[in-house]
Amino acid sequence: MSHKPTDVRVVDAQIEFEPCPFRTPLKFGGRVLEHTQLINVQVTVENNAGQHATGVGSMPIGNIWAWPSQSVTAEQAEKAMMNFAERVVRLTDGFDEFGHAIDIVYHVSAEYFHQGKVVSERLGLDEPMPELAQLVAASPLDAAIHDAYGRVNDINSYNALSEEFMNHDLSEYLDEQFEGEYLDKYTLREPKERLPLYHLVGALDPLTDGDITSRIDDGRPETLKEWIAAEGLTHLKIKLAGDDLKWDVERVLAVDRVASEVNSARGCDRWFYSVDFNEKCENVQYVLDFLARVKESTPAAYDRIQYIEQPTHRDLASHPENTMHEAAKLKPVVIDESLVDYDALLLAREHGYSGVALKACKGHTEALFAAAAAQKFDMFLCVQDLTCPGYSFLHSASLAARFPTVAAIEGNGRQYCPAANKDWERQFPSMFEITDGTVGTGALNGIGLGF
């Protein structure tokens, strides 16, 4: 039964897959990514007034990140996630109940575990589909439902999160600490006008001309030195090995030397780094040793480290010894791969994590919940992407622009798969033409998800 005049029901959902080749390889967590698939979903909804609108969601399949495995190949994981995405979209067939977008996604997501199990069994895989892989594959549907909800009601979806629109307060989805609270408390009514862009420095990425053996020559920057100079970058995310302390320290110092040289020449005296070990560190001592060596060698480089991304294994429950309390005294340590739901966030806090990394690829609904909890618990908050091009990057950036405490947005699709941005660059030049190290998120203020 409908509770609000703005409630909707899904009347149609379609899915397609789009190949997305990479301009250059991206290495992280010991794996190399050279191409991916985009999952594109369209959802048509009807509101109580009988009006219809169609919303869109898109996300890279991200199997290398979402489903690292010793027994399931990258090709098998990709196929399984595509199959899962199709099944999740079909879960909306015949679901005629009206509700807020969050209610619809919450209902559908209850079937994710079962569908993941069915997919693995039918494809004869040696392990069940991880929850993270399920969230990534389902995220385009989640986004499309929120987008359609806003469009049919002629409102920005971020402005339809109050008691006026939602049928339940946050205690329905989280716990009693959120009783009487709605998501409008934790989101902005207008997007931030601009946000600094975090540029990725992958493990294979050249820093200077001396690191290049053969140029691409496609008119885009090819070295870190060129990227910083061309785009005025002030935020750099550095991918590290996590199991080679000497290399990790030297990589950060090498990046710092290049950044210092370029920034000095252009009169910039303030810039930042995040460091990402992609879960490869054996324990927190590795992180402490890393920070100590960087600080001893170049104190300024240490000071520029804004936060540390999840250093150790994503399975927190199976590794209770991997706590981050000591590291978090020095720098914010954010939970990333482990963060699949509210319970995981609570467990991460117990393990000493002091921050939360939000990703649109884990689902728009889940990102809203995690952002509310992070603010409630006074945790450091950042928004990262999954090498998201085009629509998926705009979606990710719209999230970052609506959370008060997020200070920057990660976006590396322009580096690794810029061809997928072409259709969107003309519509939102401020989001793709970077000249001062920032993106113009103020443009993401339309109906639906904002673009």
What are the pLDDT digits (tens) for 166-191?
Answer: 999 999 999 999 999 999 999 999 99
Q: H/E element holding 195?
A: strand 195-201
Closest to 392 in 3D by CA, of 414, 370, 407, 373: 414
Mean pLDDT, residues 338-344: 97
Cα 32 to Cα 26: distance, rounded to the nearest angstrom:
6
Q: Give yes or no for residue 69 having a pLDDT over 90.
A: yes
Q: Give yes or no for residue 389 having a pLDDT over 70.
A: yes
Please tell me the predicted confidence (pLDDT) of residue 3. 77
- Domains of the chain, CATH where assigned: 8-174 (3.30.390.10), 186-443 (3.20.20.120)
Please tell me the predicted confidence (pLDDT) of residue 95. 85
CB distance 368 to 187 below 8 Å = yes
Please tell me the predicted confidence (pLDDT) of residue 26. 87
- Res. 96 pLDDT band, cuts 50 70 90: confident
Q: Give yes or no for residue 15 having a pLDDT over 70.
A: yes
Please tell me the predicted confidence (pLDDT) of residue 200. 97
Using alpha carbons only, give the angle 397, 401, 405 rounded to the nearest 5 degrees. Answer: 125
Tell whether pTM > 0.85.
yes
> Strand runs (DSSP E) across 348-441, as ranges?
355-359, 380-384, 409-410, 438-439
Please tell me the predicted confidence (pLDDT) of residue 290. 98
Please tell me the predicted confidence (pLDDT) of residue 298. 98
Please tell me the predicted confidence (pLDDT) of residue 274. 98
- Res. 2 pLDDT band, cuts 50 70 90: low
- Res. 244 pLDDT band, cuts 50 70 90: very high
Please tell me the predicted confidence (pLDDT) of residue 1. 47
Cα 253 to Cα 307: distance, rounded to the nearest angstrom:
16
Average pLDDT, the chain: 96
CB distance 291 to 315 below 8 Å = no
